[in-house]
Structure 1
Amino acid sequence: MPRVSEAHLAARRQQILDAAVRCFVRAGFHQTSMQDVIGEAGLSVGAFYRYFKSKNELIMAIAGTKIGEVTGLIDSLLAMDPMPPLPDFVEQVLERVDDTIAADDTVRLAVQIWGEATHDPEVAEVVRDVYSRIRDRAVVAAERARAAGEIPASADPSGVGAALFGLIQGYVLQRVLIGTIDRRRYVAGVRALLGETA
């Protein structure tokens, strides 16, 4: 029997994840069965279970992929010298949120995953890990901003980073739950909070 290539395995895994995203966005986690995802992916049960054994494994893989995209963007912003000012930093992250909503609406899954984490310890552990990584990067951004004189020298980077992280999460919640929020006005509000006049 010929060996299946790594590229084929990766493509099949992505096919399943894409199908799961479509199902979860359409009907939510609890209303989506594994059979729904298998049917959406167009695979046999055996082929499907070769890659994922449970709905939680799907949720965690999707969360890890999407958060990886965000952390990659944040890492690229942190690698800049000088780093963009904090409001620009936030705006670029929020642009990615809006682009994701326009492309496939997977940002809605983030809110579902947050809810799932409140009562599922396995999901909670993944959420804690991935969101801690984003918050840690926000703290680094705050440290860089403090060093650049953008925020007061007395500011606590841990507190500022946590607040920045909260601003990003707050935007996501408003986009998903309320639906209408103007990113430019939101960022203008962030600028006002940070004492910028422009």
Structure 2
Amino acid sequence: MSRNGRSFYIPLMPKVSAAHRERRRRQILDAALACFLRKGLHETSMQDIFGESGLSAGAVYRYFPSKDELIKAITAETSAAMNATFVPLITQDPPAPLPAVIAAIGPRIAELAREGGPLRLAPQAWALVLSEPGLGDHARETMAMLRDLWIAYAARLAETGALPPGTDHVAVGKTMFALMHGFLLQTVVLGDITPDELATGVGALPRPDLRAARG
């Protein structure tokens, strides 16, 4: 490029690849998760996350403009990880029976709720519904979306005859959702329940004689 007969060079900023952006995003999310687990959602500051990630404030804010956005991103990733296990089971034809679903979901919850796992933040996230209007709405919407999947699963069980005629599938879905949250809470708070115990307990619950119900 020239001006008034003189040539000059304008350096170009190097292009950042999608892979680099994803690595940097992952670096920030991992740092935020470590801070949240160590100090809690409320007590963690963005300065903590800058220090944990080893990145400047500008580098972090380029990806996540606030702590709230980091919390939402971790929540979304965790929900997606759960759905990747659950959704194929409930959308197959016919839907997987409840024992098979529990056998798959229990270990996945335990894995994500292990020491350092994102599901260990779940009780704190639930509390946001009561104390933080903005994040509380996000937590409520996420919980409702997950519960709707269980209700949809119960509806499919009813449609395929796996539940007695006239069963309130909404009540069944809400109850199964509550069961999963109870397992998660015991895993995180008490630490003395295993996926095998969950599967054994569900398998031992009394079930109606479907043949009699249909007859």
After TM superposition, the score normalised by the length of structure 2 is 0.84
1:68-107 aligned at under 5 Å gives the runs: 68-102=80-114, 104-107=116-119
Q: Given that residues 147 and 153 in structure 1 are in contact (C-alpha distance below 8 angstroms), is that contact kept between their aligned partners in structure 2?
A: no
AA in 1 matched with 2:138: V
1:103/1:80 CA distance change after superposition, 3 Å: farther
1:164-183 aligned at under 5 Å gives the runs: 164-183=176-195
Matched, 1:161 2:177: no
SS of 2:63 mapped into structure 1: coil
Query: What is the Cα deviation at residue 126 of structure 1?
Result: 1.3
1:178/1:83 CA distance change after superposition, 3 Å: same
Moved more, 59-68 or 4-13: 4-13
1:41-190 aligned at under 5 Å gives the runs: 41-102=53-114, 104-190=116-202
Query: What is the Cα deviation at residue 103 of structure 1?
Result: 7.0
SS of 2:84 mapped into structure 1: helix
AA in 1 matched with 2:175: A
Cα deviation 1:66-112 (Å, max 9, x = unaligned): 01111222111123223221132123111101122347322111111
Moved more, 16-25 or 77-86: 77-86
Q: Given that residues 86 and 141 in structure 1 are in contact (C-alpha distance below 8 angstroms), is that contact kept between their aligned partners in structure 2?
A: no
1:156/1:15 CA distance change after superposition, 3 Å: same
Question: Which residue does the alignment assign to 2:212?
Answer: none
1: CA distance between counterparts of 2:37 and 2:44?
10
Structure with bigger gyration radius: 2
Unaligned runs of 5+ in 1: none
1:70/1:196 CA distance change after superposition, 3 Å: farther
2: CA distance between counterparts of 1:180 and 1:53?
38
2: CA distance between counterparts of 1:97 and 1:196?
28
Query: What is the Cα deviation at residue 43 of structure 1?
Result: 0.2
Q: Given that residues 111 and 173 in structure 1 are in contact (C-alpha distance below 8 angstroms), is that contact kept between their aligned partners in structure 2?
A: yes
Matched, 1:20 2:32: yes
Q: How many pairs does the alignment contain?
A: 197
Cα deviation 1:132-186 (Å, max 9, x = unaligned): 2211111121112122322211111111111111111110111111111132222
RMSD over aligned Cα atoms: 1.9
Unaligned runs of 5+ in 2: 1-12, 210-215
After TM superposition, the score normalised by the length of structure 1 is 0.91
SS of 1:50 mapped into structure 2: helix
2: CA distance between counterparts of 1:196 and 1:172?
27
Query: What is the Cα deviation at residue 196 of structure 1?
Result: 7.8
SS of 1:128 mapped into structure 2: helix
Question: Which residue does the alignment assign to 1:7?
Answer: 19
Q: Higher relative contact order by CA 8 Å / sep ≥ 6: 1 or 2?
A: 1
